[in-house]
Chain A
Amino acid sequence: KAGVTQTPRYLIKTRGQQVTLSCSPISGHRSVSWYQQTPGQGLQFLFEYFSETQRNKGNFPGRFSGRQFSNSRSEMNVSTLELGDSALYLCASSLRLAAENEQFFGPGTRLTVL
């Protein structure tokens, strides 16, 4: 069974631009969670989507948004990029809600904002 895939793996943007990251969960998994990983802040939870609905949200500004499609694939969007948004963005999928099931992480998308 294929694992969680994320595209693109690497991305370079400039301040003020917007970016969309994609995550394809493991087949049959209905929950997708997004995390931001930085050396200073570690792994921070962004949001979780389940059955196309946002179920949980972390403490990030409204510039960070996401959505989930009927096939459980998820996208994360960051608008008006800031230098501090440079990070590894990880998504994780689970069979049902992340609180009830093991999460499997993808390899991440490394975003660099110049």
Chain B
Amino acid sequence: GQQLNQSPQSMFIQEGEDVSMNCTSSSIFNTWLWYKQDPGEGPVLLIALYKAGELTSNGRLTAQFGITRKDSFLNISASIPSDVGIYFCAGQISNFGNEKLTFGTGTRLTIIP
């Protein structure tokens, strides 16, 4: 199935560091979403982006909808232990009758003590 290219695949950082990850696609999307998944749980929506160029924040998280509509970025500032988990981007193009989400491959974030 189709997937978005998400990078990096994994990150090992120290508490307090800032984190950046991105997602690219060969197709354009109308909506970009960022999710976080903790072990044994389903993904939880962090940020939703609906307009090219949009920059949206949710606490220490900031995400941007790329101007080309083919990419998106997520930044986490001053990381804390509860930020550990897998982050997924997801894109959606609203063709009537075909609105399914396409997910990225995920970025696993680990905080080194």
Cβ–Cβ < 8 Å partners of A33 in chain B: 100-101
Do residues A42 and B42 form an inter-chain contact, with CB atoms below 8 A?
Answer: no
Instruction: Please measure, in the bound complex, the distance between the C-alpha atom of A45 and the C-alpha atom of B88, giving whole angstroms.
Output: 14
- Rounded to whole Å, the gap between the CB of A36 and the closest CB of chain B is 9
Cβ–Cβ < 8 Å partners of A108 in chain B: 41-42
Beta-carbon nearest neighbor of B103 in chain A: A43
User: What is the number of residues of chain B that contact chain A, defined by CB distance less than 8 Å?
Assistant: 24
Do residues A48 and B42 form an inter-chain contact, with CB atoms below 8 A?
Answer: no
- Check: A70 CB closer than 8 A to any chain B CB: no
Q: How many A-B contacts at CB < 8 Å in the complex?
A: 57
- Check: B66 CB closer than 8 A to any chain A CB: no
Beta-carbon nearest neighbor of B35 in chain A: A105
- Check: B57 CB closer than 8 A to any chain A CB: no
- Check: B102 CB closer than 8 A to any chain A CB: yes
- Check: A92 CB closer than 8 A to any chain B CB: yes
Cβ–Cβ < 8 Å partners of B43 in chain A: 43, 90, 105
Do residues B106 and A99 form an inter-chain contact, with CB atoms below 8 A?
Answer: no
Instruction: Please measure, in the bound complex, the distance between the C-alpha atom of A44 and the C-alpha atom of B100, giving whole angstroms.
Output: 10
Question: Could you jot down 8 A-B contacts, CB within 8 Å?
Answer: A41-B3, A48-B100, A56-B97, A58-B100, A103-B45, A103-B101, A105-B35, A106-B42
**10 further A-B pairs in the complex, CB-CB below 8 A; given A33-B101, A99-B99:** A4-B42, A44-B1, A44-B103, A56-B98, A59-B1, A90-B43, A97-B99, A102-B45, A106-B42, A107-B40
Residues on B lying within 8 angstroms of A by beta carbon are 1, 3, 35, 40-45, 48, 88, 90, 92, 94, 97-106
